Structure 1
């Protein structure tokens, strides 16, 4: 587990964490409870009807006997009808509740996860989160949709049956209660062990899921290095670990069931033997013994069912604990309670100011990614950021989008501290073309429209034309309606990047961030996109990260970074004349003396 647990791990009290998800459905729970009470009452009425039928029907003679038998059989059938209707209603309501609450939990967990900062995903595997969304919520569904109802039903049957046992025979009931008390200790002992093993089992499943997700996302690399066998072996080992842990849980649950049923029915058989002696001695009627037997069966069955439900509840408690741990994680990046508003957008773009920015990634607290960095970008200005890998260029963009907050320093957009802006307002003012292009499993039209959900088809097509993407999209089998495949596998790298550029242009933000926006393009596409980007930069402030210096030569200013600091600022010509880091980079790329 990668995030710290803040919850108790010793009892079923963890299931209380589900109460906020159950609370909106009080009416449905009430209806299910009514059906549950009626069904339990009908079940408890059956043994009494049998007693009356035996003592007053079979025990009588002549027409009176026939009349009693007919009456009680008719009554028994009526009770069965009520039981059938109430049971069906209970099943429907609790099944609906299980599905509804599970859907709510999945939605809440996903809503919570997608709002976490990148810091969360530095230490948490996506497969682990997916395991919680699927496997863990399925266990909770079983509890809400079945186990809670079964627990309440069998608790009512146990209590009602116990009362009726005492009504039938105080002596026999007292004996059976003493014997049944001995069942509690093994159930409690094994129940705790099952809960611990249930959590371990879910952790192992999550590990296997995380591993599978990671490898499936890297299949081309796995196959290129011919490691299919090795990765299959690793996954098999992980699955076997999950299997062995699950078998330990199953063995513990089997022992729990064995102990409960053996002890319960052993006690009941002994007491029934005493009852048979009482009937033969004339101290009890046959109908009373039959009634006692049926109520004893109901009580024993209820205890056995409760032991099964307890096992399911133990597993669900582990799943709930894991989900609540996930829900308890709070992103360090939050919108302020009283957010400020950006001033009205000017025609020249935004003013960006960075003052003495120092930043360490949470996972690397001893290494400064940015150190005392200061920069002022005027409205409409295009600033290129260059430097060797690891200089802090991409980190700068992540701070501007407020994926992280710097430990020291201030960033303002149009004079407003970005920490005082609502996150959606801040990010709505920024368009980005990332180095690692993300394409969703949708068609080309919807992938570009991701930049602005309310954009019309005509606006999407216009953005595609500006990004030099229109022509290749039109040549796809269904044009803009062509499905691009998971992660855009049906497109080339350059085509994916042009889709991303079109998405950013459609958003039409005052501040545009280009992170290696043309790195995956061939020479012809780069020329087309560069021309489109130049047109798109008009009327907005633009920051460009590029290793290929040919793409930044026409920038208003070039900022050179090294080791998280700005070491040179100027135009292409002035930096070449300076003979510093930029001149060396240019010499390597252009084969010119530096």
Structure 2
């Protein structure tokens, strides 16, 4: 198990972005996801302008009420009419403000949800096209953290923060303009002081951004660790590691908590500095304004208007500092997502792929020439070295050899999960590099030794072999794989939920589901990674009969560990450390008394003895 406690999960396959990019430059890379919704942004912008304009009219109305209403009442004039009209106008402004704010909230919330869904879809669609090389070095928990936690932060920015930032920016600019209209002298003093206080805000903002990125990384560490352990619970419990793993997860969570607290402390300090400096500057300027009123240099209404506009400007700056904190977190999340999106699979397709000959009843001809391959995670050891093999259409080949000989590697190269450094693989004399990946993999059916069962019912698990198959075709494939009877005995038959990773099935039942899935696909080339290894004797007999029928009219390559399987093959290919050392049938290879004979004596003698005993009985 990977230790994520100290160093974090391995993300070496994901290119790392430079932290020197500005927050807004990083967030601007989300524009491709925003462009499809220009109309909705325009509607939200109109509502935003209306709401901001309504807010900026309020201080002017108060000035009119004080100077033209209260002052006339005090001097014996008809000022009450001005007061009534002012309050009526204020109510009208409130109506406009309420409608515009509701419209803005609805539109930006819709945009946040929509854009986040698009980003999640894009990232997921990109990740599932990556080759196994990517998943050798990247834990699924890390990917899931980026898909969930990071996209949620982006949703906050798109659905809330952008709107708040624009609203407060408009209020700041509008309020600043009205401050100059009201009193140029006092406004000039405010501007100078605001410029001075913005510098520490920028400094601490950069600190918050770095800590935000670190916080997201530590959360991903905890998610990756939890995902790894939850997928291995039987092993964890069998070795009584519950307490140990709980402690490991607790340490990882505490690490994430400590990092988050450093971010929170920095952001709290940023907020405190912004509020103290900005409001301190405003209080000082208002003190000067109060003296101007006392000296008769400014009316009470004008000072009131100036105070309200100053409050609007100060509130806008304070809100912008809050938004900046959210933007710093979102910038870190955006970097992580864009890093994931920038990963490119080494398995690429040609611009104009060739097509395979029309399907026929002979199967596929396979030509393997001078094949050499190293796994990216084990570059010092050749998994296959100068491998040459010709397989005729309709032929059944058994691959035998010790663990690590290269049997499964050959399957992975046939499916183009990896590309060899040297050599070619051809199907019907066409290099698989020249084929469309979809067509190539549609031509191949595989039954792996470690069967994957999805969290769905039996019907859908088998239909995974061919998505457009009818229920009758699924049931027919299940019967061929000797799976029909046990499926029928499940509580809801073919509609029975099989549990996460097939926990409700035995090993043999899982394998028969996988065989049915491959048979349903009806491929020209069948790859069987010891497809009967987990079956009991009776089920193996039934499945062997089904496989013999399924092998007709198609080429079959079998990774064999059972003598019965080996004997049925047209040819046996013996692999040793990535090389072919012997080729022939069972009888001829036993007569050579070489590598195959040695393997047979070590690996097959128990089964041979068992078969002999059965015959004597």
Q: TM-score normalized by structure 2?
A: 0.95
2:30 partner SS: helix
CA distance in 1, matches of 2:62, 2:429: 85
Partner residue, 2:304: 290
Partner residue, 1:590: 605
CA distance in 2, matches of 1:2, 1:304: 39
2:240 partner SS: coil
Partner residue, 2:409: 395
Cα deviation for residue 156 of structure 1 reads 0.5
Cα pair 2:369 2:423 within 8 Å, conserved = yes
CA distance in 1, matches of 2:563, 2:53: 82
Is the counterpart of residue 423 in structure 1 residue 423 in structure 2?
no
Partner residue, 1:146: 160
Cα deviation for residue 3 of structure 1 reads 2.7
Matches within 5 A, 1:217-296: 217-296=231-310
CA distance in 1, matches of 2:141, 2:234: 19
Matches within 5 A, 1:133-532: 133-532=147-546
Q: Deviations over 1:43-87 (max 9, x none)?
A: 001000110111111111357212111111100110111000000
CA distance in 2, matches of 1:466, 1:231: 43
Cα pair 1:151 1:309 within 8 Å, conserved = yes
CA distance in 2, matches of 1:482, 1:60: 84
Cα pair 2:14 2:340 within 8 Å, conserved = no
CA distance in 2, matches of 1:82, 1:303: 24
Q: Deviations over 1:195-240 (max 9, x none)?
A: 0000000000001100000000000000000010000000000000
Is the counterpart of residue 7 in structure 1 residue 17 in structure 2?
yes
CA distance in 2, matches of 1:368, 1:268: 72
Q: Deviations over 1:340-376 (max 9, x none)?
A: 0001112111101100101111111111000111111
1:453 partner SS: coil
Cα pair 1:509 1:540 within 8 Å, conserved = yes
Unaligned runs of 5+ in 2: 1-10, 610-617
Partner residue, 1:130: 144
Is the counterpart of residue 569 in structure 1 residue 583 in structure 2?
yes
The match for 1:119 among 133, 144, 150 is 133
Cα deviation for residue 451 of structure 1 reads 0.3
Cα pair 2:141 2:228 within 8 Å, conserved = yes
Cα pair 1:411 1:418 within 8 Å, conserved = yes
Q: Deviations over 1:173-209 (max 9, x none)?
A: 1111111112111111100000000000000000110
Unaligned runs of 5+ in 1: none
Cα deviation for residue 4 of structure 1 reads 4.4
Cα deviation for residue 280 of structure 1 reads 1.1
Partner residue, 2:4: none
Cα pair 2:529 2:560 within 8 Å, conserved = yes
Decide which moves more: 195-204 or 1-10.
1-10
Cα deviation for residue 6 of structure 1 reads 5.3
Q: TM-score normalized by structure 1?
A: 0.99
Cα pair 1:15 1:317 within 8 Å, conserved = yes
Partner residue, 1:36: 48
2:289 partner SS: helix
CA distance in 1, matches of 2:562, 2:77: 107
Is the counterpart of residue 17 in structure 1 residue 32 in structure 2?
no
Cα pair 1:8 1:14 within 8 Å, conserved = no
CA distance in 1, matches of 2:238, 2:594: 40
CA distance in 1, matches of 2:68, 2:13: 68
Is the counterpart of residue 49 in structure 1 residue 61 in structure 2?
yes
CA distance in 1, matches of 2:519, 2:77: 94
Cα pair 2:574 2:580 within 8 Å, conserved = yes
* Runs of 4+, deviation exceeding 3 Å: none
Decide which moves more: 416-425 or 6-15.
6-15
Cα pair 2:382 2:578 within 8 Å, conserved = yes
Matches within 5 A, 1:29-108: 29-61=41-73, 64-108=78-122
Q: Deviations over 1:390-448 (max 9, x none)?
A: 00000000000000011111100011100000000000000000111000000000000
Cα pair 2:463 2:520 within 8 Å, conserved = yes
Partner residue, 2:5: none
Q: Count the aligned residue pairs.
A: 593
Cα deviation for residue 336 of structure 1 reads 1.3
Question: What's the RMSD between the two structures over aligned residues?
Answer: 1.0
Decide which moves more: 91-100 or 53-62.
53-62
1:584 partner SS: helix
CA distance in 1, matches of 2:563, 2:158: 60
2:567 partner SS: coil
Q: Deviations over 1:516-560 (max 9, x none)?
A: 211111121111111111111011000000222222211111111
Q: Deviations over 1:476-520 (max 9, x none)?
A: 000000000000000001000000000000000000000121111
